[in-house]
């Protein structure tokens, strides 16, 4: 029987200073990776920083649980994606950027296809959040479809369909991209 009473089993928790040292050590090593993924998920550096800071705050609060996870980085990545999912699921959330002065000039137009990576990045940013997350996890993080399904709580079929739709859309949007050979891998 798994469920068995264990008398006198006292859980140990680290002191605040120990926790801070451990957390800082992990933070120093792993934050850049979280920042990069967050940047690709959100599409801009400032939103990414906000997403990462919220995720780090939650990890910090949960550190006693997180530190004993089998794979802290995987836990952190899952927390990051969950936080991103929470953000995009807020239907009435108004995304506003507060500026000190009203700009005198109109905002620059979205980048146009220049035959390079900027166009691909603009395409990725135009994807719906869920599809963008699948693309980032699949083609940047190089996770398997199964790992993405597990991380996002969706079926493998959904991962496949989101991924293939994104690829098809990209091919349709960049028909003359000089670097696309037309030959697709089957990964």
Partner 1 sequence: MTTEDLLTRSLHEVTEHTDYQTTPLATVVRRAGIVRGRRRRTTALAAAAVAAVAVTPTAVWLNHSPDTSSGPTTTLSPTVSSGSATSLTDVPFGHAPGIDYLDGNTYLDMNGGRIKDPALTTATAATPVRDGLLFALPGETPDRADLWIHTTNGDQRLGCGRNRFAISDDGVVSAYWVTDSCNPDSAGKLYDGVNNTMGEGGPGFVRTPAGVMIDPVGIQTEAVVVNAWHGQDPTAELIDIGTGRATPLSALRIVTGSDENNHVVSGEIAGQPAGQVGESAVVDATTGSVRWRTDWQLGQFSADGKYVVGLRSGEGSTDSYAVFDAVTGQKVADFPTWSSGWITQVAWDLDDTLLAVVNDGSDRTAIVRFGRNGLVTRATPVRQKKYASVDVFRLATRP
- 147 is written with which tokens? 């790992």
Residue 136 interacts with partner 1 (CB under 8 A): yes or no: yes
Q: Which of 22, 72, 113, 120 binds partner 1 (CB under 8 A)?
A: 120
> Whole-number minimum distance, CB 67 to partner 1, in Å?
10
Q: Which of 18, 73, 89, 144 binds partner 1 (CB under 8 A)?
A: 89
How far is it, in rounded angstroms, from Cα 141 to Cα 132?
12
Q: Which of 22, 47, 82, 88 binds partner 1 (CB under 8 A)?
A: 82
> Considering CB under 8 A, how many residues would be counted as binding partner 1?
75
**Taking the CB of residue 81, how many other CB atoms lie within 10 A of it?**
23
Residue 173 interacts with partner 1 (CB under 8 A): yes or no: no
How far is it, in rounded angstroms, from Cα 23 to Cα 19?
6
How far is it, in rounded angstroms, from Cα 84 to Cα 3?
35
Q: Under rule CB under 8 A, which residues in 1-60 are in contact with partner 1? A: 1-7, 9-11, 13, 20, 23-24, 27-28, 31-32, 35-36, 39-40, 45, 48-49, 52-54, 56-58, 60
How far is it, in rounded angstroms, from Cα 15 to Cα 58?
18
Residue 62 interacts with partner 1 (CB under 8 A): yes or no: yes
Residue 125 phi, psi dihedral angles, 5° rounding: -65, -25
């Amino acid at each position: 029987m798994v469920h068995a009473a264990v008398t006198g089993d006292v859980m140990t928790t680290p002191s605040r200073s120990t926790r801070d040292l451990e957390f800082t050590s992990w933070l120093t090593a792993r934050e850049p990776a979280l920042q990069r993924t967050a940047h690709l998920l959100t599409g801009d550096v400032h939103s990414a920083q906000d997403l990462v800071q919220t995720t780090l705050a939650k990890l910090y609060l949960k550190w006693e649980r997180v530190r004993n996870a089998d794979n802290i980085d995987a836990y952190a990545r899952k927390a990051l994606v969950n936080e991103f999912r929470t953000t995009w699921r807020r239907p009435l959330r108004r995304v506003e950027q507060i500026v000190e002065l009203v700009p005198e000039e109109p905002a620059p137009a979205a980048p146009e296809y220049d035959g390079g990576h900027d166009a691909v990045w603009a395409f990725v940013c135009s994807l719906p959040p869920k599809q963008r997350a699948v693309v980032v996890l699949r083609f940047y993080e190089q996770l398997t479809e199964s790992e993405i399904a597990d991380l996002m709580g969706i079926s493998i079929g959904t991962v496949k369909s989101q991924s293939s739709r994104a690829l098809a859309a990209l091919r349709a949007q960049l028909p003359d991209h000089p670097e696309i050979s037309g030959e697709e891998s089957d990964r």
